[in-house]
A and B are shown apart, each in its own frame.
Chain A
Amino acid sequence: MNQWKNFSKGLIAENAIFVQVLGMCPTLGTTTSAYNGLGMGLATTFVLVMSNIVVSLVRNYIPDKVRIPSFIVIIASFVTVVELTMQAYLPALFEELGLFIPLIVVNCLVLGRAEAFASKNTVWSSTLDGLGMGLGFTLALFMLGSVREILGSGSWFGLKFIQGDGMLLFVLAPGAFLALAYLIAIMNKFNRKNA
């Protein structure tokens, strides 16, 4: 597989949210606004790229039976790095995302890529794979956050363009499911010829 494909497959063809439907908890929980979706996506991308790099570096030294615990420790370490850094330098964003940052550890997308890709491929391929998957995830969260913020609050990136409230349903939890379902339907329409 050529390197460009390692990167690009995560964006659309194997998009973590729209196609693989992985990591739903942060997806539905944090995407109340475009800014939050973007922040969460980038934090996850960082963890994904770093853990992919490290896992592919150590893949030949970790005994098979303890690989999952090792991967989890590696992922959790990077998540903590993100958490501390964000708390120190982006306190406002950290407050918004709050609980969901530590929860990146259990995002099945991250462990999924470590196990399915990074533990079997070279460092360079794994880096690109992590970057592609992460950006695809970010893109999806950003789109979902934008839709929910525009419909739900009548604003985008905090800039209000209507008076009063939007359709509040979209900011609340059920709106996340609705918006996600419609986005997936639209993506399927374009991706699959027979849909």
Chain B
Amino acid sequence: MAKKESTLLSMFLALFLVTLISATILGFVYEFTKDAIAASRAAKQTEALKKVLPPFNNNPVQEMYKKAVDGDTLYFFPAREDSALVGIAVNTFSPKGFSGMIRIMVGFLPDGTIKDVAVLEHKETPGLGEKMVRNKSNWSVQFQGKNPKTYRLAVKKDGGDVDAITASTISSRAFCDALERAYKYLTEGGAK
């Protein structure tokens, strides 16, 4: 088998060409998939907004405002029907998940009642903490129609009103933590 001799020049050229060609190809692939990736992310967000908010006819993404808290960012999406505020969705987070960051979209009605919740991102254990996602179990239904003013967002073990997921107290706590954070800064912001 003919192997090329390893001189400084040949090594330099080989590595240069390999990286150059790879980088060029990747550039094209990136350009090609960029729009589809952005679209699938936006679709996910819109879907979550529709799920957690009452019917609206404005574009909440356009009116979105941010607030940097606890080392990360909360995103607020005000939903209006004919310019009357019908609810605000909050893209909230908790760093306390069993395996790191959890992001949840939670929709509040103007009086602070939770309309619904949808998990956007999580790394919880499949079969356990993963049950916080609606298509895995109905656990998160219990938050619908609850007002955090009277409903204590903590698992029962910690003296709250939330039934934890069996064997996933940490994930359930993180979920409550995220909702609590959303509610706290929503009311503090005086947005409603």
Contacts and interface: CB of A to CB of B under 8 A. Distances in A.
A29 to B, nearest CB: 11
Contacts of A193: none
Contacts of A70: 14-15, 18
A58 B33 CA distance: 27
Contacts of A63: 3-7, 10-11, 14
A74 interface: yes
B29 A85 contact: yes
Contacts, number: 85
A51 to B, nearest CB: 11
Given A60-B2, A64-B4, A89-B36, A152 B18 contact: no
**Chain A interface mostly:** helix
A11 to B, nearest CB: 27
A66 interface: yes
Interface stretch (A19-27, A76-84, A127-135): A76-84
A88 B37 contact: yes
Contacts of B4: 60-64
B126 A84 contact: no
B123 A152 contact: no
A66 B29 contact: no
**Chain B interface mostly:** helix
Interface string A103-128: 00000000000000000100000000
B11 A65 contact: yes
Interface residues of A, number: 34
Contacts of A166: 127
B6 A88 contact: no
B167 interface: yes
A112 B11 CA distance: 22
A153 B6 CA distance: 54
B30 interface: yes
A66 B126 contact: no
6 contacts: A63-B5, A64-B3, A66-B15, A85-B33, A91-B40, A98-B123
Interface of A: 32-33, 58, 60-66, 69-70, 73-74, 76-77, 80-81, 84-85, 87-89, 91, 95, 98, 120, 152-153, 165-166, 168, 171-172
